[in-house]
Amino acid sequence: MNLQRLQINPSWTLFLDRDGVINRRLAGDYVKKWDQFDFLPGVLDAMQLFHHHFRRIIIVSNQQGVGKGLMTEIELQAIHHQMTAEITKSGGKVDSVLYSPHLNSELSVMRKPNIGMALKARKLFPDIRFKQSVMAGDSLSDMIFGKRCGMKTVLISHESTLAKMYHRQIDYLYPDLISFANDL
């Protein structure tokens, strides 16, 4: 892992995972309604800082709860609408929220660690350059997704064990999103 600060400029794009990075992950469950969505500490402040550092901010999230029939895409989109409204109200921004409703067993190109959501983001915003992008997430699949696209990767985790085991996929390690934002 790199011990130096990440060097970016305002033309860069930030890709963010959702569960475990922006909101509290529900152990063994999925956020199915807005009242279950709980921003992690410092996230709204981090999003405000990111707004000043990145041209684009794209959320990319595997949401197989839809594929399992535990929620509809309309319910998921309502959660994302409220999430982006709260981020905007706090001075941040989100350019797009992309998600894969597919089950892991479907092996969809849209499901991380596959790069379908990154390609979709670049189709929506042709100015995105993956070599000038960062993927911040809390799982190995997020890091592989970023590396497959040629992005810098930031693991958001208190677990240094994962970082040691998969150090080739992880460029930077921070305990939370606000620590990453404050280091830019």
The string of DSSP letters for 30-74 reads ---SGGG--BPTTHHHHHHHHHHH-SEEEEEEE-HHHHTTSS-HH
What's the sign of the alpha-carbon dihedral 31, 32, 38, 42? positive
Element housing 180 (H / E): helix 177-182
CA distances from residue 138 to 9, 11, 68, 116, 162 in whole angstroms, order as listed? 24, 24, 22, 19, 10
The answer to whether the CB of 14 falls within 8 A of the CB of 50 is: yes
Could you give the residue numbers annotated as active site? 17, 19
